[in-house]
Structure 1
Amino acid sequence: MLREIRPAIVLLLVLTAITGLAYPLAMTAIAGTLFPVQAQGSLIEKDGKVVGSALIGQEFKDDKYFHGRPSATVAPDPNDSSKTVPAPYNAANSGGSNLGPTSKALADRLKDDVDKLKVENPNAAVPVDLVTTSASGLDPDISPEAAQFQVPLVAKARHMSEEQLRQLVSANTKGRLLGLLGEPRVNVLALNLALDQVAAK
């Protein structure tokens, strides 16, 4: 019986070593060599300190910064572990809200968010990505229209000209990949870092 089982055990150990150790280590080494920034999480540094990642959004509450999309991620309620509380951009709990188009809770939140944004900029239509969450809840990008919509509020908070901010948004807008794939987008963290740099001058 041992004669029949031994090849299966040997094959299991060999495949485990190849697929569980050798392959992941080789891919990690190759990624670290060919794509060192991406392999480390696409981290963004400012003055030698890591301030975020180009791949994960952050919550900006101050009016002097551009804001990203709403985030649907949650975390356990510290007061009641059977409940959850909002935890924007919680990378440990990526996911959407799972609220469908007939959800009253979603409709109420959207209406409230649109009403708040209309107060900030009453003369412009509210871009859809400023009130809807992404599938992951971690999207770091917004549309150029969403960034331009926020220009009057940020300009007022920073005492800067709207034209200067519009140029900054344009300079930080990335186009479609290869001119075909995806949509034009603005990374909110990169835009806010560029904004701080311009304001410092």
Structure 2
Amino acid sequence: MKKHILPAVKLTVLSIILLTIVYPAIIWAIAQFSPNGGKGELITHNNKIYYSNIGQSFSENRYFWSRPSAVDYNSAGSGGSNKGPSNEEYLKQVQARVDTFLMKNPGVAKSEIPVDLITASGSGLDPDFSVQAAKVQVKRIAQDRNISQEKINQLIEANIQKPFLGLFGPEKINVLKLNIALDQLGK
């Protein structure tokens, strides 16, 4: 028994040192080389500071709407709803989002609504949405702001983030950056 306990204790101590001191120190050191020292990208707009890597709530007709959040955009409590596609409460939530979107965006068919505009992400804090999610909202925003749809489409094209290395992930748009650019377009 003594033969097994001593190696187990040594392995436990080694694991504690590696996983609570060495690994976090390495990750912290790597983060120091990223923009803003690993604290995320800060954006100042209208004298308010925002994190571009955390989803923000936009629901006014003059803005591109954000992806829904299961945690009401509270970064302290990141998480999904954990409700599946057979959960009646979840289905009612999604249907209410679809109905609201269709009411505020006349002329858009239900089949044209991208899934990322009616379902929350796994973290509930996704700052990005698909290019299709932006394009389906153009008519509403153009009408509300009295700006041509062509200008808004150009703004969308200018804000598309390409996949990492051209291979990994879909094209996406940061909603906060797009809405800030939209405000600047109107000036």
Q: Same fold (TM over 0.5)?
A: yes
Give, in angstroms, the shift of residue 136 of structure 1: 0.6
Give, in angstroms, the shift of residue 29 of structure 1: 4.1
The residue aligned with 1:83 is none
The residue aligned with 2:41 is 42
The residue aligned with 2:3 is none
Give, in angstroms, the shift of residue 51 of structure 1: 2.6
Give me the whole-angstrom Cα distance separating, in 1, the residues matched to 2:126 and 2:81. 14
In the alignment, structure 1 residue 55 sits paired with structure 2 residue 53: yes
The residue aligned with 1:166 is 153
Contact 1:57 1:89 in 2 (8 A): yes
SS at 1:166 equivalent: helix
Alignment of 1:108-187 (within 5 A): 108-124=92-108, 125-187=112-174
When residues 145 and 21 of structure 1 are mapped into structure 2, their CA distance, relative to the original with a 3 A threshold, is same
The residue aligned with 1:78 is none
Q: How many residues in Structure 1 have an aligned counterpart in Structure 2?
A: 176
Stretch deviating more after TM superposition (104-113 or 185-194)? 104-113
Higher percent of residues as strand: 1
The residue aligned with 1:28 is 28
The TM-score with structure 1 as length reference comes to 0.77
Give me the whole-angstrom Cα distance separating, in 2, the residues matched to 1:46 and 1:147. 21
What are the ranges of 5 or more consecutive residues in structure 1 without an aligned counterpart?
Answer: 74-87
When residues 100 and 166 of structure 1 are mapped into structure 2, their CA distance, relative to the original with a 3 A threshold, is same
The TM-score with structure 2 as length reference comes to 0.82
The residue aligned with 2:62 is 64
Contact 1:43 1:50 in 2 (8 A): no
SS at 1:45 equivalent: strand
Give me the whole-angstrom Cα distance separating, in 2, the residues matched to 1:130 and 1:113. 8
Give, in angstroms, the shift of residue 64 of structure 1: 1.2
SS at 1:101 equivalent: coil
The amino acid of 1:46's aligned partner reads H
Query: Quick one: percent identity of the two aligned structures?
Result: 40
When residues 19 and 194 of structure 1 are mapped into structure 2, their CA distance, relative to the original with a 3 A threshold, is same
When residues 65 and 24 of structure 1 are mapped into structure 2, their CA distance, relative to the original with a 3 A threshold, is same
